């Protein structure tokens, strides 16, 4: 039944996208289409887990497992990402060779997590927070931070930390933005890799169920709490590092950090969590 629902969501969306091509862009209310998707997506989880409060989905798997939630709450008293947030603050304010810093690129002291991701209508692409951090560095004559972790994750963690409580409210205002959204949606529901699995298969169909010793987290709220310090990694990493790990786990070739595929996926997933609040960084197993 769950698989049937997911197939209908994807198939219906692809058919709709084809039909929209024949309509003038100004005649289509893309946000209304997206809002309908959000309602269905969030409704799926409300039906599957009727006892879980909507706001608790920002806590990932700990919204579903009370025992694990208690342990996590205790860990949050001395969070393992605390030093990374402090390091990220220092990096955020560290002067570039030209005398400016990352702080010169972001308003509100860098508390802008709620502004990302967004679709840049001029460049016709999704912009993530980590992408914006590196573009600021390059624009000021510095090299971009490499990879999915390290300094990039630390700066992002600091900016997430000072942005806690900002509400997720990502908009889709144009045909180009809707196309990026649809690409992210297709990635989320599409099967890939040697195990022929999808993001939705693990985090919708199997959400709340055990996979070996672990309980699968719900897709709703996935993007609220990154960057994440994972015990498995022994360090803090970005959302795209998690995407990389998921692709590895199912035997699929990972994409590069900040690839169009991952940015579009982040765009779609964040939209599905509209109404929740950003609460990163976080600690996970």
Instruction: Give the catalytic positions in this structure.
Output: 246
User: Please, which contacts does 19-24 make with residues 24 or more away whose CB atoms are closer than 8 Å?
Assistant: 20/175, 20/178
């Amino acid at each position: 039944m769950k698989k049937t629902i997911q197939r209908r969501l994807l198939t219906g969306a692809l058919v709709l996208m084809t039909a929209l091509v024949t309509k003038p862009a100004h005649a289509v209310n893309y946000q209304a289409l997206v809002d309908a998707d959000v309602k269905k997506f969030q409704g799926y989880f409300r039906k599957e887990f009727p006892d879980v409060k909507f706001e608790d989905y920002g806590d990932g798997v700990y919204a579903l497992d009370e025992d694990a939630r208690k342990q996590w709450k205790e860990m949050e008293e001395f969070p393992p990402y605390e030093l990374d947030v402090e390091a990220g603050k220092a990096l955020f304010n560290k002067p570039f060779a030209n005398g400016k810093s990352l702080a010169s690129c972001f308003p509100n002291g860098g508390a802008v997590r709620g502004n990302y991701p967004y679709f840049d209508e001029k460049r016709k692409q999704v912009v993530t927070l980590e992408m914006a951090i590196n573009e600021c560095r390059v624009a000021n004559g510095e090299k971009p931070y490499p990879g999915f972790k390290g300094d990039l994750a630390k700066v992002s963690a600091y900016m997430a930390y000072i942005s806690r409580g900002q509400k997720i409210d990502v908009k889709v205002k144009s045909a180009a933005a809707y196309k990026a959204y649809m690409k992210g949606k297709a990635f989320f529901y599409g099967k890939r890799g040697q195990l022929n699995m999808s993001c939705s298969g693990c985090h919708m169909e199997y959400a709340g169920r055990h996979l070996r010793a672990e309980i699968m987290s719900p897709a709703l709220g996935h993007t609220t709490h990154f960057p994440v310090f994972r015990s498995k990694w022994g360090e803090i990493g970005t959302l795209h590092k998690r995407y990389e790990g998921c692709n590895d786990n199912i035997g699929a070739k990972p994409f590069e950090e900040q690839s169009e595929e991952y940015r579009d996926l982040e765009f779609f997933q964040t939209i599905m969590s509209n109404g929740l609040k950003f609460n990163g960084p976080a600690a996970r197993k």
